[in-house]
């Protein structure tokens, strides 16, 4: 039996997951802080590499390649960046290693800018966002943060508790529903596709702006679970032709280059339209963004730079690159 519910009480256990951090820091400062591990690994090595007065030679480019590979940039993206930096330096007449670092920054920015495509939820009503990803990537938490942000922007939201395998996921969504005064559609032990279908029907009847549909975490190698995702997408299209309007794949930055493999698998199953890269604050593998960009210029809708509500933000390529190097 379906339920349209909001919990009566927010417990101490889940309050920490929902309370925003105090405001005050600019996004640039928070981003720089969250990328500190990646910057220490990448920026520190690059600073040592691009020392003042060092000549530009093949040995320097080989060392640059080693540094980038060590920061999970990936083989293809590393070669692309090294070749591009070499050519950019040649065209600009760069003569020393310190200037070469500027050329690398410009090359990385050019690679990442195509990913900077904010999500436009105004093109459909209800606008259906289907979230997918492996276990622990941060789907449910991301839904909660997006809910808060959409409500703050005067958008009405319905949450679909499509992760019917994990009771904590349903409860987590109900906490967000209570806090933001939005409807949560759930069903104990039910079918994920049926839950999401019912949520969409409810949204259509009430004129709701956005449906955020959670799904259970699964590995790309779990064929039967990937087939279930395909079924979910088919059922959504029956509820609203052309939906889901966004298939948002949530990736954990800690997976590094493996994020590309996850993207390939989920894209093949669902046709991914956007990415959310979470937990950048807890890893030195932020360079994986370059590996993703080199594989395909898929919109990177959001990056997660911390636990606070304000720490899930639209991707800003220039701010990201500056946080790595400055």
Pairing of the two strands 183-187 and 210-213 = unpaired
DSSP 22: P
DSSP 273: -
Interval 126-159: pLDDT, tens:
999 999 999 999 999 999 999 999 999 999 999 9
Phi/psi zone of residue 74: left (φ > 0), alpha (ψ -120 to 50 degrees), beta? left
Interval 75-133: pLDDT, tens:
999 999 999 999 998 898 888 888 888 899 999 999 999 999 999 999 999 999 999 99
Residues 6+ apart with CB under 8 A from 71: 38, 41, 42, 45, 284, 285, 286, 287
- The span from the first CA to the last CA of the chain, in angstroms, equals 54
- Of 5 and 64, more confident: 64
Q: What is the pLDDT of residue 284?
A: 67
Question: Angle 269-273-274 (CA atoms, 0-180°, nearest 5)?
Answer: 115
Q: What is the pLDDT of residue 52?
A: 62
Q: Give the three-class secondary structure for 278.
A: strand
Interval 176-228: pLDDT, tens:
899 899 999 998 767 999 999 999 999 999 999 999 999 989 988 888 889 99
Residues 6+ apart with CB under 8 A from 141: 17, 172, 278
Residue 193 has which token pair? Answer: 């596709």
Contact status, residue 321 vs residue 116, Cβ threshold 8 Å: no
Indicate if the pLDDT at residue 21 is higher than 90: no
Interval 25-66: pLDDT, tens:
577 777 877 777 777 777 778 878 887 677 888 999 999 999
pTM of this structure: 0.88
């Amino acid at each position: 039996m379906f339920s349209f519910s909001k919990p009566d009480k927010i417990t101490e256990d889940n309050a920490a997951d929902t309370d925003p951090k105090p405001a005050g820091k600019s996004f640039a400062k928070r981003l720089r802080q969250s990328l500190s591990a990646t910057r220490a690994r990448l920026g520190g090595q690059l600073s040592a590499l691009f020392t003042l007065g060092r000549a530009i030679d093949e040995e320097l480019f080989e060392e640059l390649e080693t540094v980038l590979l060590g920061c999970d940039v990936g083989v293809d993206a590393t070669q692309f960046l090294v070749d591009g930096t070499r050519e950019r330096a040649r065209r600009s007449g760069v003569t020393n290693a310190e200037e070469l670092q500027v050329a690398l920054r410009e090359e990385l920015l050019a690679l990442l800018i195509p990913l900077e495509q904010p999500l436009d939820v105004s093109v459909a009503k209800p606008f259906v966002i289907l979230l997918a990803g492996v276990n622990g990537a941060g789907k449910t938490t991301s839904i909660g943060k997006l809910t808060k942000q959409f409500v703050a922007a005067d958008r009405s939201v319905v949450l679909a508790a499509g992760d019917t395998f994990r009771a904590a996921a349903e409860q987590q969504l109900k906490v967000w529903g209570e806090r933001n005064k939005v409807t949560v559609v759930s069903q104990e032990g039910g079918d994920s596709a049926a839950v999401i279908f019912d949520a969409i029907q409810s949204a259509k009847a009430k004129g709701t702006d956005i449906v955020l549909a959670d799904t259970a975490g699964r590995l790309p190698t779990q064929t039967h679970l990937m087939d279930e995702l395909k079924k979910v997408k088919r059922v959504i299209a029956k509820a609203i032709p052309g939906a889901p309007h966004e298939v948002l794949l949530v990736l954990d930055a800690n997976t590094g280059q493996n994020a590309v493999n996850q993207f390939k698998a989920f894209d093949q199953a669902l046709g991914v339209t956007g990415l959310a890269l979470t937990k950048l604050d807890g890893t030195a593998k932020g360079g994986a963004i370059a590996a993703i960009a080199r594989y395909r210029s898929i919109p990177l809708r959001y990056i997660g730079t911390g636990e606070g509500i304000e720490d899930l933000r639209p991707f800003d390529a220039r701010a990201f690159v500056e946080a790595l190097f400055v």
